[in-house]
Amino acid sequence: MPKCMIRVLGKPILEWALDAILPHVQKAVIVVGYKKEMVTDYFSKKPYADRLEFVEQNEQKGTAHALLQAKNRVKGPFFTVNGDSFAEPALYAEALQRIREKPSGWFGITKQVQDARPFGLVHAEADGRISRFEEKPKQAQAGLVALGNYYLPDSFFDLLEKVPLSTRGEYELTDALNAFASEQVLTVQEFSGFRSEVTYFWNHLDLNIHALENLMDDTREGIIEPGAVVEGKLFLGKGSIVKAGSRIEGPAYIGENCLIGPNAFIRRGSVIENSCHVGTCEVKNSVIMNGANVPHYSYVGDSVLCEDVNLGAGSMIANLRFDNEPIQVRFKEGTVDSGRRKLGAAIGSGTKIGVNCSINCGILIGHDCKIFPGAKVTHNLDNQTVFKGD
């Protein structure tokens, strides 16, 4: 799915941003590309659909090119939002307050980090004026990084049209921002709250646990049978049933029309979306997406199960190395240190896993795979793999 449609507590990250911003602006222009229909179809059903405009980026030519697609839809000052990152609603509240107080004061939102390499480093003067943007510095260093949120005049589009092709073969937004900062006053607004990219599946876990603890209300619209125990904060959606003998240690989120138990153990940090069945199993700090099932005697820890995944009886996902070292995850581009001592697997949509399978920690399994009963999954599996074991 497009990154902007990744869900936090059952709601796409783009929707979190729109819910915070739309009460205070005239309209939002959304630049779409990959699987654009998922975005347009979803938001066309929202009450505020008439205040949304969609423009398509036909080719992925970089951030400057993406923003430039909105040129003919924007008149007057505008505020940019990265649809593929998640921020607390406070980020937008603070930005909009500043715009109301000084409608002609251009700024970019920044955050202090210990390692700026994955981001764009912001060089600012003592008075807060930005002097230069540096795209993904090569050396590890602490500093202010750009979050992709800028308040700018519509004349900025003229600078976007002059951006040259970079060595990466893209049109970089930082080039236009550097040109703008050399001509006009562009200042920083530092944000101290929670904000995260969604680059790896463990980032998704982090987003959900933060939202569970800080953004979710305790709401129980479903049925909790006598004999079930709930401790801590819980969201339980309509039509869901927590059967007798189950134990929930919040914060936890259970969507609509789910069947939990009997005798399920749902631990802190668990997000179970809609129409899922979690039976006599243990789930801890994991995301189980729409229609996925973990019905019988399984353990799911620190993992992401995408839509319509089914775990056969007795299947287990490991989330801890014997040596307690951080878990390494192999991607096609190379190995990434997750930095996490506990990390399970990410399993793509539609994958079916037979009974009594075991899955190593840090494993990636593609969509629509079939894993035979009793198999031991010790390496990544590509999409549509039929796996009978090593």
Average pLDDT over residues 80-93: 92
Instruction: Indicate which CATH number applies to the domain containing 228.
Output: 2.160.10.10
**Band of the pLDDT at 137, cuts 50, 70, 90?**
confident
Residue 348 in this model has a pLDDT that exceeds 80: yes
Tell me what pLDDT residue 81 has. Answer: 94
Residue 208 in this model has a pLDDT that exceeds 90: yes
Question: Would you say 248 and 268 are in contact if contact means Cβ atoms under 8 Å apart?
Answer: no
Q: Which of 24, 123, 296, 367 is catalytic?
A: 296
Picking from 167, 197, 227, the residue at the C-terminal end of a domain is: 197
Instruction: Indicate which CATH number applies to the domain containing 157.
Output: 3.90.550.10
Query: Are both 165 and 246 inside the same structural domain?
Result: no
**Known catalytic residue at 296:** yes
Query: Are both 145 and 261 inside the same structural domain?
Result: no
Query: Are both 168 and 211 inside the same structural domain?
Result: no
Structural domain containing residue 44: 3-197
Dihedral over Cα of 128, 134, 135, 140: its sign: negative
Tell me what pLDDT residue 351 has. Answer: 98
Query: Are both 304 and 239 inside the same structural domain?
Result: yes
Query: Are both 155 and 279 inside the same structural domain?
Result: no
Tell me what pLDDT residue 11 has. Answer: 95
**Band of the pLDDT at 116, cuts 50, 70, 90?**
confident
Ranges 18-32, 114-128, 132-146, most confident: 18-32
**Band of the pLDDT at 291, cuts 50, 70, 90?**
very high
Q: How far apart, in Å, are the Cα atoms of 369 and each of 187, 302, 372?
A: 50, 21, 10
Rounded percentage of the chain residues whose pLDDT exceeds 70: 100
Residue 34 in this model has a pLDDT that exceeds 80: yes
Q: Which two tokens stand for residue 131?
A: 């002097």
Query: Are both 221 and 192 inside the same structural domain?
Result: no
Picking from 143, 166, 197, the residue at the C-terminal end of a domain is: 197
Q: How many domains does the chain have?
A: 2
Tell me what pLDDT residue 124 has. Answer: 93
For all residues of the chain together, what is the average pLDDT?
Answer: 94
Q: Give the tens place of pLDDT for each residue, 263-279.
A: 999 999 999 999 999 99
Query: Are both 181 and 242 inside the same structural domain?
Result: no
**Band of the pLDDT at 223, cuts 50, 70, 90?**
very high
Tell me what pLDDT residue 234 has. Answer: 98
Place of tokens 């990544």: 380
What pTM did the predictor assign? 0.92
Nearest C-alpha neighbor of 270 from the set 246, 255, 254: 254
> Which residues, at least 6 apart from 50, have a Cβ–Cβ distance to it below 8 Å?
none
Query: Are both 173 and 211 inside the same structural domain?
Result: no
Tell me what pLDDT residue 51 has. Answer: 95
Query: Are both 154 and 296 inside the same structural domain?
Result: no
Tell me what pLDDT residue 30 has. Answer: 96
Average pLDDT over residues 313-337: 95
Tell me what pLDDT residue 165 has. Answer: 82
Tell me what pLDDT residue 168 has. Answer: 80
Picking from 197, 230, 255, the residue at the C-terminal end of a domain is: 197
Q: Which two tokens stand for residue 25?
A: 């602006």
Q: Give the tens place of pLDDT for each residue, 45-60.
A: 999 999 999 999 988 8
Average pLDDT over residues 111-138: 88
Q: How far apart, in Å, are the Cα atoms of 185 and each of 67, 80, 181, 332?
A: 21, 17, 6, 43
Q: Give the tens place of pLDDT for each residue, 153-202.
A: 999 999 999 998 887 888 889 999 999 999 999 999 999 999 998 999 99
What whole-number distance in Å separates Cα of residue 79 and Cα of residue 81? 7
Nearest C-alpha neighbor of 71 from the set 146, 161, 148, 151: 161
Query: Are both 32 and 128 inside the same structural domain?
Result: yes
Residue 390 in this model has a pLDDT that exceeds 80: no
Question: Would you say 98 and 106 are in contact if contact means Cβ atoms under 8 Å apart?
Answer: no
Query: Are both 187 and 258 inside the same structural domain?
Result: no
Query: Are both 278 and 186 inside the same structural domain?
Result: no
Average pLDDT over residues 219-238: 98
Residue 117 in this model has a pLDDT that exceeds 90: no
Tell me what pLDDT residue 167 has. Answer: 79
